[in-house]
Amino acid sequence: MDVVVQQTVNALALGGTYALLALGLAMVFSVLGLINFAHGELMTVTGYAMYFVLTAGLPFEIAVLVGIVAAIATAMLMERVAFRPVRNAGTATMLLTSFAVSTILHMLFQNLISARPKALPVPDWMIGALNIAGFDIGVIQLMSISATALLLFALTVFLRRSTLGIAMRAASLDFPVTRLMGINANMVISTAFAISGLLAGVAGVLWLAQRGSVDPLMGFLPVLKAFIAVVLGGLGSLSGAVLGGFTLAFIEVALRAFLPDDWLPFRESIALALVILLLLVRPEGLLGRKEAIR
């Protein structure tokens, strides 16, 4: 019983991080039709921003705040500088542009900062565990779960209640008609990037708190997982991205916990095989639409 609760907490915490990242990818995809491969670099930006703030001797809380703001600003800057000029050139061009942005950022990190990892010491109070109802639950896990829940709730309220939120959902269904409602195309897209930056920033903080270091390529693996989550959940579906993130995490954690030891090296491949199996059964993803409405 104890193991099950413990592993569920682990899966929820990891799933939350995947879900936040996947949701950011899906958000941009839903309004722009772009899978932003530079999304992982937003986490890296968060990491370096935190590193500089901590090196300057400022408290961890400030570093978290600056890290998240840096991710939001970078996401919006990416949109403005790299994606807006090629917006009408087609999705293939935008996709290539996002590869270029990702590569340029890698090179900047390597040449201006360092190719080697920089330590990001987390405060002592985050390392321990709390005893909740007889279970020892890691503080970082607890933070992951609550941050994810809070962000998902806030985002849902924003998308359901605010005019801009409704406009973003409308834009994901029919962009030209959304503009006919008087809604500024740049505003919608810029907001989508800002939200993706916020989500990547928070995911970045949670990821970094686990790892304790930042390096130029750290964004690659999590964004790959997020991409798998998006496809698993159904490309274009926001709730699908969240569900995909949690599903992937549960598969990974279950394999890590219950696979025999000599199978452990293959757990990533087994996880991917399971995902492919799910997609064979439901090619449109867990919550994807069978066909476009238009």
* Closest CB 172 distance from another protein, rounded Å: 8
User: Does position 27 bind another protein by CB under 8 A?
Assistant: no
The 8-class DSSP code of residue 79 comes to I
Nearer to another protein, 5 or 185 (CB): 185
* Closest CB 294 distance from another protein, rounded Å: 8
| Helices (H), ranges, the chain | 2-32, 39-55, 60-78, 91-108, 124-127, 139-161, 163-173, 175-180, 185-211, 220-233, 238-258, 267-281
CA 245 distance to own-chain centroid: 9
Nearer to another protein, 46 or 237 (CB): 237
Torsional sign, CA 117, 103, 190, 178: negative
**Is the CB of residue 216 less than 8 Å from the CB of residue 223?**
no
Nearer to another protein, 117 or 165 (CB): 165
* Closest CB 284 distance from another protein, rounded Å: 15
Which conformational region is residue 93 in: left (phi greater than 0), alpha (psi within -120 to 50 degrees), or beta? alpha
Copy the structure tokens of residue 150: 């809070």
Stretch that binds another protein, among 43-51, 85-93, 169-177, 269-277 (CB under 8 A): 169-177
* Rounded Cα distance, 225 and 165, in Å: 26
* Closest CB 24 distance from another protein, rounded Å: 20
The 8-class DSSP code of residue 216 comes to T
Distances (CA, A) of 277 to 94, 228, 270, 273: 30, 13, 10, 6
Copy the structure tokens of residue 257: 């916990």
User: Does position 46 bind another protein by CB under 8 A?
Assistant: no
Copy the structure tokens of residue 94: 């935008």
User: Does position 290 bind another protein by CB under 8 A?
Assistant: no
User: Does position 170 bind another protein by CB under 8 A?
Assistant: yes
Contact pattern from residue 177 through residue 216 relative to another protein, giving x for each residue in contact according to CB under 8 A and a dash for the rest: xxxxxxxxx-------------------------------
* Closest CB 167 distance from another protein, rounded Å: 6
Stretch that binds another protein, among 2-10, 37-45, 166-174, 191-199 (CB under 8 A): 166-174
Among 113, 142, 173, 259, binds another protein (CB under 8 A): 173
Residues that contact another protein, how many (by CB under 8 A):
19
Nearer to another protein, 184 or 269 (CB): 184
Residues that bind another protein (CB under 8 A): 163, 166-167, 169-170, 173-174, 176-185, 293-294
